[in-house]
Amino acid sequence: MSELDIYAKQGFAQTVGLGDRPAVVVVDFINGFTDPDHFGGGNIDPAIERTVELLELARACGLPIAHTRVVYADDGSDAGAFARKAPGLLKLTETSPLSQFVPQLQPRPGELIVKKRHASAFFGTDFSAWLTWNRIDTLLVAGCTTSGCVRATVVDSSAHNLRTVVVTDCVGDRAIAPHEANLFDMGQKYADLMPLSDLRQHLTSHHAASLADATI
């Protein structure tokens, strides 16, 4: 029996689908994650370029959009176990160039900026309250790293009973093996996996139908 057969026999990899009110979260596409001398490498840069297209699509469809960045105090006084495990994170302070959003993915007015000190976009932030206020039922996830902050956000999204979709070509990691392993695992347990081309087809058709309904 193959590994896929084992998962299938045990009932994993069911589809959650997209609901009626999706939002996009772009996780930690900041300057420090484009540079292999800091936190970058692997397929993060290609994922950033695809996320440019994802944001164009989301904005055209009027979807709520959130962006996350890691921010620690200049003196590290708010650091905890996560920064102890990866002390280089303490370089990501409010004014550090490393913690600023990459030029291609600058937030626009009206889009939420979530500052976080842990892996998940949910932990210790007001992200969940923002989703509730906007009556979001589906979270579309882009960002980096696939095995770290993306995965943590996806797991917490599922725990909040959101339909969760990882846009597969809009996430990246500094190493390909953990990227691929974590995509597989998230797809089996926590989220649907969808390339941008499929998401585009769904959103544009749904957006067109919504516009048609509004004119009746």
Active site members: 149
Q: Which of 196, 179, 184, 104 shows the shortest CA–CA distance to 141?
A: 196
For the chain, the C-alpha Rg in angstroms (whole number) is 17
127 contacts: CB under 8 Å, gap ≥ 6: 25, 66, 68, 112, 114, 121
**SS3 per residue for 177-212:** HHHHHHHHHHHHHCCEEECHHHHHHHHHHHHHHHHH
Q: Which two tokens stand for residue 144?
A: 């980096």
Q: Taking a C-beta distance cutoff of 8 angstroms, is the pair 173, 44 a contact?
A: yes
